Structure 1
Amino acid sequence: MDLTPYVDNLRHELAVAADAGGEEARALAERLTAPLESATRLTLLNALSAAMGEVTRELAPGSVDVRLRGLDPEFVVTPPPAAEPFEETRAPTTAPAATAPLAAHSEADDGSMARINFRLPAHLKSRAENAATAEGLSVNAWLVRAVSTALDGRERADPSSRGKDMGSRGFTGWVR
């Protein structure tokens, strides 16, 4: 989104207002327009960020992020995951493994969001940013998907495979 037309419009409006005050006011307005351009851009960016925060709250679990490219903001929209079609079952399922994924999906679909502070080593942060960019996602959306995938995998893991060496196992790569 190019902010230049909005900044130029504000500069024009300031010049029109200064014309009413005479030559001294016009000279003062001309001296003020250059320093005000940075402040104007920053104020517009803050307003856009706040607006996209409100949009994200309404769009949850999807999101809209504002990224700065040069002097101009760019919007990155991450739509909510598509709802899975509902299939009615006639006989109740008694296997606990079959009900665990349904419980996980119902928690994610209730639309509520929680905010956490997450400290990440710098080398992992840059890798996460690169991976998110490669997939066209915000870092937040990529991390939400990574945590969800890791937790879903843990719920489906075979309990008999857990042993003393559980801490030495790790996950590499990415699964869709």
Structure 2
Amino acid sequence: MDLTPYVDNLRQELAVAADAGGDDARALAERLTAPLESATRLTLLNALSAAMGEVTRELAPGSVDVRLRGLDPEFVVTPPPASEPFQETQEPVAAPAALAPPPADADDAMARINFRLPAHLKARAENAAAAEGLSVNAWLVRAVSTALDGGRHASPPGRGKDSGSRGFTGWVR
């Protein structure tokens, strides 16, 4: 970025202001503009550096650096790393694998956690659970179990084929 036009503009504005003060003021302004050029450039560099610091804070983890090349600043922009977008597969969803019973040493005690998901992931989890005929909780339990057990599916509590319980659906009078 060339600072010369900005320094020249400041010099012209100072000359216009000095014209209003008469010949003595004009002569003083001409004597002061040459020594003030380096101070003006330094002040502009400080302002640009502060501005790029604010931009960097908003751009984090990306950044914008100001580097001095000769008398003029140069901006180096480092964009934040782009995360790879999730690719939806167009393949049909396979039927869910047979659910394995929970391990024999599994404790029936339940623990509650708060789990926050971005809205788009929540909607996808709900759709996946509905497609498999499970509640979101049961689907998440199975997903966590599968992830932790190296790919083996575990059944949600009380839903395994060996759990001994028989479920009924419908209504009665």
Bin for the TM-score computed over the shorter chain = 0.5 to 0.7
How far is 1:42 from its partner? 0.3
**2:56 is the alignment partner of 1:56:** yes
**What is the rounded CA distance, in whole Å, between the counterparts of 2:66 and 2:73 in structure 1?**
6
- Partner of 2:12 in structure 1? 12
Query: How far, CA to CA, are the matches of 2:61 and 2:83 in structure 1?
Result: 12
Between the aligned partners of 1:62 and 1:19, the Cα distance in structure 2 is 47
Residue deviations 1:102-158, cap 9 Å, x none? Answer: xxxxxxxxxxxxxxxxxxxxxxxxxxxxxxxxxxxxxxxxxxxxxxxxxxxxxxxxx
Figure out how many residues of one structure are paired with residues of the other and give that number: 96
Aligned to 2:148: 94
> 1:59-138 to 2 correspondence within 5 Å?
59-86=59-86, 91-92=143-144, 93-94=147-148
Q: CA deviation at 1:2?
A: 0.2
What is the one-letter code of the residue matched to 1:68?
L
TM-score (norm 1): 0.51
Q: Distance in 2 between matches of 1:30 and 1:79?
A: 44
Deviation at 1:55, TM superposition (A): 0.1
Distance 1:49 1:94, change over 3 A: same
Cα distance change of structure 1 residues 79 and 23 upon mapping to structure 2, 3 Å threshold: same
Q: 1:95 to 1:63 in 2, by over 3 A?
A: farther
Unaligned residue ranges in structure 2 (runs of 5+):
88-123, 126-138, 151-173
Letter in 1 for 2:50: A
Could you tell me how far 1:58 is from its partner in structure 2?
Answer: 0.2
Structure 1 residues 84 and 11, CA gap change in structure 2 (3 angstroms)? same
Give the percent of matched residue pairs that are identical in Structure 1 and Structure 2: 86
CA RMSD of aligned residues (A): 2.0
Shift of 1:83: 1.5
Deviation, 1:95, is: 6.4
Max radius of gyration: which structure?
2
Report runs of 4+ in structure 1 exceeding 6 Å deviation: 87-90
SS of 1:85's partner is: coil
